[in-house]
């Protein structure tokens, strides 16, 4: 299984990490100083969805002020939320699809071994 996150849409809600039974996701800092954290681009996101430090405006406007107990677009992770999600362990994915329905940014993409593509749709 190949898993990646379309970085510009990730709110940092951490739902993916919290629901994944096989620890596919890790939350990384968004920026190191004033530069995008290069560790964020270690999953298989295609070039147009790699992290450049720019959040999609519509996604930001939708989630920035939502009070649901998760921090949105925070630079660092505090154990509950914040940072940006990186699919560090896509090989372990069992396609349970839990992350796909919990992803606020609708930005997780999974490709199975037959080439079928699954994208997140927030429930």
List residues near ligand SF4 by CB under 6 A: 3, 5, 10-16, 19-22, 24, 85, 93-99, 102-105, 107-108, 110
Q: How far is the CB of 26 from ligand SF4 (least distance, A)?
A: 10
Q: How far is the CB of 109 from ligand SF4 (least distance, A)?
A: 10
Task: Sort 96 into a burial class: Cβ within 10 Å, 0-12 / 13-18 / 19+.
Answer: exposed
Closer to ligand SF4 by CB, 6 or 32: give it.
6
Q: 43, 25, 2, 19: which is closest to 96 by C-alpha?
A: 19
Closer to ligand SF4 by CB, 2 or 35: give it.
2
């Amino acid at each position: 299984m190949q898993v990646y996150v379309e970085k510009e849409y990730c709110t940092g809600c951490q739902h993916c990490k919290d629901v994944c039974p096989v620890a596919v996701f890790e939350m990384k800092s968004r920026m190191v100083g004033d530069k995008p954290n290069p560790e964020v681009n270690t999953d298989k996101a295609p070039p147009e969805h790699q992290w450049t430090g720019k959040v999609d405006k519509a996604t930001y406007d939708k989630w920035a002020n939502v009070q649901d107990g998760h921090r949105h677009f925070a630079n660092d992770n505090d154990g509950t939320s914040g940072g940006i999600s990186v699919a560090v362990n896509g090989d372990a994915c069992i396609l349970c699809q839990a992350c796909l329905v919990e992803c606020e940014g609708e930005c997780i993409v999974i490709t199975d071994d037959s080439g079928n593509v699954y994208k997140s749709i927030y429930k």
